Amino acid sequence: MVLENGTDWRPEEPESRGRHADFGSALEAVRKSLAAAGGEGFFDTLKDRWPDLFPGCAARPGRHDGDLLVLYVRSAPALFSMRPKLPAMKRALAALPDAPKKLRLLLEIKT
């Protein structure tokens, strides 16, 4: 077990400890920092808008990293059937007002 003795483990920014009065204020600070990151609002609302944009689509939005959006499908046949539809999906997503400038889509099998 590693102890916080300054030898085995060095804390990052130890002077910033204790700046939140309670857990709720710490969560609020994290939420504000994530909201300030910019561009995340598009990906957060995309999951809610997905059924309206692509009804009956075999792919669903998954994780995102920067301008990369990973779409999850359930099987290899679904992956191969969705691959030709990616350019049209990319155009539809890029047309949304809050979309990133250079959006990339990737298909991944995830059950």
Rounded Cα–Cα distance for residues 61 and 108 (Å): 10
* pLDDT tens string 30-56: 777 666 555 457 888 888 899 999 999
* pLDDT tens string 94-104: 998 888 889 99
> What pLDDT score was predicted for residue 97?
84
> What pLDDT score was predicted for residue 74?
96
Q: Which residues contact 98 (CB under 8 A, 6 or more apart)?
A: 41, 42, 45
Q: Over 60: is that where the pLDDT of 2 sits?
A: no
